[in-house]
Structure 1
Amino acid sequence: MKTLKIANIPGDGVGKEVVPEAVRVLHTIADLHGGLKFEFTEFPWSCDYYLKYGQMMPEDGLKQLQHFDGIFLGAVGNLNLVPDHVSLWGLLIKIRREFQQVINIRPAKRLKGIASPLTNPKDFDLIVVRENSEGEYSEVGGRIYQGEDQISIQNAVFSRKGTERAMRYAFELASKRKAKVTSATKSNGIVHSMPFWDEVFQDVAKSYPHIETDSQHIDALAAFFVTNPSRFDVIVASNLFGDILTDIGAAIMGSIGVAPAANINVNGKYPSMFEPVHGSAPDIVGKGIANPIGQIWTAKMMLDHFGEQELGSHLLEVIEQVTESGIITPDVGGRATTSEVTDQIISHLKK
């Protein structure tokens, strides 16, 4: 029996609604598989926790998490209660950085039964590999002076180690898919970090002669995501560029509510973390209509990470069987509730 111990952090808003649904699905898969078991330990860390204790997680929070096999996160943030920079840096980004989750991967594909806003989306199936530890989201910088003389400086940091690591991950991933990697750059406008990025990409590509390569400026690349997403396989991008591209990826799928993500620790020292792209969606909290697919697809990525690719692939097939049957939530044009979508996924799994 393979037992996976998972730290479960529903977080804020709809995270508290969709995480239990995905947990139901994972328990069903484990029961049907026979040789797999999940043990979930829930942590109440959230904006509500912050209002009560003055911090998003306890001082020893990371110590509590470090011995789990993985972390399953719902959503973080509630602007009505806590500023975003406090909630995100106090929980989500804190875990990403201190657990060395240096790679963020986010797939986007046309799901059967969910209408894309694109006129002719074709059958796109792409994945963005985002450098997740430095780049434009570094903490280097600060402010000086006051009033009209005030200056804010934010330094982007690109190390060869971090850049090359993300690119090699992308090439390895592409070798298992359609053998094409596209680099997101902006070397015609950002004159130091992006030419450096391009040089590392060219160097890494030499080790993968069987992989087709392409380099696109981020503005053109964003446009191609909208006009012709089916041309792409694996895209490797810096922290900021990857963040923006993956929200476009979610949009062309039809809803950010269906988009999954994984934050990967590649050295094995700490657990990886799995979270959907969507936020806490305070406008629909408590209505029972939050889309659970993003969280359930994220569960599929967690299965893949633990070497259960066959189960993960089957889960995604089942998700599409359900969406194709018309059992979808209002954000993608349906009438089903959160639990009704999950019930159908579980029913199809049992078949």
Structure 2
Amino acid sequence: MATYKIGVLNGDGIGPEIVKASVEVIAAVAEYAGTTTIDFVPLPMGWEGIETHGEPIPDLTKETLRGCHGWIMGPHDSSSYPPEHKEKRNPSGELRHHFDLYANIRPSKTISGIKSVVGEADLVIFRENTEGFYPDRNMHAGLGEYMITPDIAVVNGVFTRKASERIAHAAFRMAMQRKRKVTIVHKANVIRLGYGLFLDTCREVAKQYPEVKVEDYHIDAMAAHLVRRAKEFDVIVTTNMFGDILSDLAGELVGSLGLAPSINTNDQQAMAQAAHGSAPDIAGKNIANPVGEMLSTVMLLDWLSARHQDQNLYRVARLAEQAIMETMEAGICTRDLGGTASTTEFTAAIIERIASGGK
């Protein structure tokens, strides 16, 4: 029986509630399947890290994660941290940078029983995760933004062939498993060198996948196309900032950002992380929607099953996903989706469905 070591970072705000729910569901499925052992390793992050180790991401957490197969990360509330920590990378950016988690993979798919603004859609966005215009990730040391005068701020945007190539390959590999269509999103008509390099590199990579249809759009046009015809897109590959924006848009279009999952990967490890924030205004009220975090954890299991060629783990992922979806289809959901269930009641309903074999 294979054993997987999974780090657990609760985070801030609603993080402890939704991460706990995700861990409970996966633990229940693993026990039901009886073919896989998952060793969950709790580690400090966010306010917990500050209070116990003086850092949002303590060295202990980083060192332990290096020995994990992957980890589940809750949202952080870095805007509330003490001033000395606000000047550093936030916990998410720090882990992405430290472990070179270059690919942020964010699917958006309509769910039965959940109202979608765009009807049927099933797409996945591959967001380059290490550079672009995000100053907490695009420098070897320090941050890539400066105050030239008190009234002038300058932000560096970094675009490299290496980063563009590897996110493009990741997107095209996924496209080969799906509908064999990739959409490149950029702004090369205005930022000609940076986005021009990204676009040209993606096109060069595309030549290695002749079976895949390739198209490209400027970011402003792409936002409109997503609203008008989301169902026509399959795999989208883009840069850091554009991927962040488009994936939030796509998540809301197919139902709710609270349902939007994602993983971050470097090909050896992966981090499950819901696309939404920490929602401190509802923290501790037991009303948070844990589906985004749960489905992110399912994505992590899928990624691990593919990497380790483990069909047993793949079955665990499918059973978990099925139980989550069937629970929502049965009308049991949290208030943000029009239901009445609390976070713990929704989680309990999923676990009960698992224990009964889906009945």
2:77 maps to 1:77:
yes
Partner of 2:114: 114
What is the DSSP-based 3-state SS (H/G/I as helix, E as strand, rest coil) of the residue aligned with 1:134?
coil
State the partner residue of 1:135: 132
CA deviation profile, 1:116-140 (whole Å, cap 9, x unmatched): 2x2xx22101110111111222236
TM-score, normalised to structure 1, is 0.92
**How big is each residue's C-alpha offset from its partner over 1:38-83, in whole Å with a ceiling of 9 and x where there is no partner?**
1111123212532565421324432232111111111111534446
One-letter identity of the residue aligned with 1:125: D
Alpha carbons 2:29, 2:319 under 8 Å: kept: no
Q: Distance in 2 between matches of 1:186 and 1:315?
A: 39
Letter in 2 for 1:129: F
Q: What's the CA shift string for 1:93-123, capped at 9, x where partnerless?
A: 111111111111011111111112x2xx221
Which runs of structure 2 are paired with 1:56-95 in the superposition (5 Å)?
Answer: 56-77=56-77, 79-82=79-82, 86=86, 89-95=89-95
The corresponding residue for 1:337 is: 342
Compute the displacement of 1:312 (Å).
2.3
> Root-mean-square deviation (CA), in Å?
2.0
1:300 to 291, 298, 303: 298
2:149 to 140, 146, 149: 146
Q: What residue in structure 1 maps to residue 332 of structure 2?
A: 327
Q: Which residue number in structure 2 is paired with residue 259 of structure 1?
A: 260
State whether structure 2 residue 352 is matched by structure 1 residue 347: yes
1:292-325 per-residue CA deviation (whole Å, 9 max, x = no partner) reads 1111101110110111334323432332211111
Partner Cα separation in structure 2 for residue 291 and residue 347 of structure 1:
18
**Would you say the 8 A contact 1:187–1:198 is kept in 2?**
yes
Give the count of matched residue pairs: 343
1:288 partner amino acid: N
Q: CA deviation at 1:177?
A: 1.0
Indicate the SS of the match to 2:354.
helix
TM-score by length of 2: 0.90
1:13–1:75 Cα contact (<8 Å) kept = yes
Partner Cα distance (1:143, 1:289) in 2: 40
AA at the equivalent of 1:109: K
Q: Percent identical across equivalent pairs?
A: 36
Distance 2:341 2:9 in 1: 25
- Any conservation in 1 of the 2:25–2:320 contact (CA below 8 Å)? no
Counterpart residue number, 1:49: 49
Matches within 5 A, 1:306-325: 306-307=304-305, 308-325=313-330
Structure 1 segments (4+ residues) deviating >4 Å: 81-85
The answer to whether the Cα contact below 8 Å between 1:6 and 1:41 also exists between their aligned partners in 2 is yes
Structure 1, residues 17-53: CA drift from partner, whole Å, max 9, x if none?
0111111111111112212011111123212532565
Going from structure 1 to structure 2, the CA distance change for 1:342 and 1:180 (only over 3 Å counts) comes to same
Name the residue aligned to 2:165: 164
CA distance in 1, matches of 2:59, 2:31: 36
> 1:219 corresponds to which residue?
220
Q: Which position in structure 2 is the counterpart of 1:275?
A: 273
- Return the letter of the residue paired with 1:255: S
Corresponding position of 1:232: 233
Q: Distance in 1 between matches of 2:87 and 2:19?
A: 19
Structure 2 unaligned segments of length 5 or more: list them: 306-312
Q: Is the 8 A contact 2:125 2:236 kept in 1?
A: yes
Give ranges in structure 1 of 5+ residues lacking alignment. Answer: none
CA distance in 2, matches of 1:216, 1:12: 36
Q: Does 1:284 align with 2:289?
A: no
- 1:186 corresponds to which residue? 187
* Range that drifts further, 52-61 or 13-22: 52-61
Q: 1:90 deviation in Å?
A: 4.2
Alignment of 1:32-43 (within 5 A): 32-43=32-43
Shift of 1:91: 2.0
SS at match of 2:79: coil
Task: Give the whole-Å Cα distance in 2 for the aligned partners of 1:325 and 1:207.
Answer: 45
Partner Cα separation in structure 1 for residue 270 and residue 236 of structure 2: 21
8 A contact 1:5–1:40 mirrored in 2: yes
